[in-house]
Amino acid sequence: MTAETAASPLAPEWLAVPADLNALHAPMWAAGVERNDAGELAIDGIPVSELKARFGTPLFVMSETDFRARARAFKDAFDAAFADICGGVDVYYAGKSFLCTAVASWVAEEGLRLDTCSGGELAVAARAGIDGANLGLHGNNKSDAEINRALDMKLGRIVVDSLDELERVAKIASARGEVAKVMLRLTPGVHAHTHEFIATAHEDQKFGLSMAEDSTEEAGLSAAEEAVAAATAYPSVELLGLHCHIGSQIFEPEGFALAAEKLLAFLAAMQSKYSITLPELDLGGGYGIAYTPVDTPRPAAEIAQAMAAVVRSSCAELGIKAPRISIEPGRAIVGSSTFTLYETGTLKTVRVDAPAAALAGAAGGENVTFPRRYVSVDGGMSDNARPVLYDADYSAVLASRTSLAEPQLSRVVGKHCESGDIVVRDVYLPADVAAGDLLAVPGTGAYCWALSSNYNYLARPGVVAVRGGAARWIVRGETEEDLLNRDMGVANV
């Protein structure tokens, strides 16, 4: 490595200078994404320049083939691992990660079920023709309208998040003369190694019923046990079982194992104490993907085998029949199936004071600065809010061509009027990146379009699905006319 290509002192420790800036780190990309003979990024043979010409930028580019393969891999791997335990697994695709009618249809066709979190997501499922028995409804504050819609659609399960909500579901179902199928979401107190806002199994957050004994005013009962007792007493509720979700973007298996052990022990205790059968247990999702070259996601089969081993041994120790297991992968299916395509605009380089480690080597305490280049693209936090919300890291590559230029530490930023409008905080890009070049950011299938906004009145990008060398809209990009159609001002008086 030459002096010019040495790692920048401004780069985070995990970010290495790539040996080849034109290479693609396979775990971050969908199958079928590669550079063509001209050096241009292509998906299923379609070059990004063609996608830009046909659909514009910014643009979410999804491999339908890759999505389906990942969905099928989860279903096949978990069915095989749990065949001897509970006859297989119900895999619910977490629609909150990304949902449209096409994706809902793919999920059903690959043998998965669908998890929703709102009336709007239920509406998408209904438009896609998904059988209500294969749907679940989450949410910490479901409206009466959403509960009624779930009952109208004869949902396979409503995941209840609190004692108040359990009572409301029971009352609504009773008034309709129906029985609601319910699971109780519990917080097992397992702390996943992830960002605070996407770790959801600790006590101090809005989701779930606490398993801690001092979590309710009822002497000696946890909120979780109080909910079990109440649910079994409501004639309008069928208690299917228990549910937990410990967080998102998790690579270590220990958290999943501990949560499974705690919930199975609780399930066994409740079955014995209340003389009931709880036939189902949902262990959630949260499996991590590769956003950067240092991320190490585990294959679906490895995850399945590890979880099956814990369930098998725990049930044997507790002396109980294993419940039917379900899981909820979302990001792990859709995340790497998609990349976002941007066009580069303005570029500028600033000088930044060196961190303390670099200053320690400076002679006489002299001020040492290093360059950081800002590469602006035609999207930003309106199509990827995760960096500003969660300090999420991403990567990027020059997509419209290859380059032999030296690596330069860069920060890919959007066009919004916010200093925190950062798409990729730190990445090495070729020094000759220029206005008009296309950049691709991989791993944007989950929680990017779903969290998109119209900040600064930017139209939200569309989503193109590619399969067999053909590309088509599955979500049309917005236009300025779309934005103005909801404005009930002068033009619509």
Question: Which structure tokens are listed for 303?
Answer: 């995850």
Closest C-alpha among 285, 288, 307 to residue 297: 288
* CB atoms near residue 65 (< 10 Å): 18
DSSP string of 458-483?
A: PPPP-EEEEETTEEEEEEPPP-HHHH
Q: Considering 86, 100, 117, 417, which one is annotated as catalytic?
A: 417
Give me the pLDDT at residue 5, please: 72
Give me the pLDDT at residue 441, please: 98
| 3-state SS class at 184 | strand
pTM value is 0.93
How far is residue 110's CA from residue 434's CA, in Å, rounded to a whole number?
42
417 is catalytic: yes
Give me the pLDDT at residue 437, please: 98
Residue 58, preceding peptide bond in cis (omega within 30° of 0): yes
Low-confidence ranges of the chain (pLDDT < 70): 1-4, 191-205, 213-219, 356-366, 491-493
Give me the pLDDT at residue 195, please: 39
Instruction: Give the H or E element holding residue 116.
Output: strand 113-116
How far is residue 334's CA from residue 391's CA, in Å, rounded to a whole number?
20
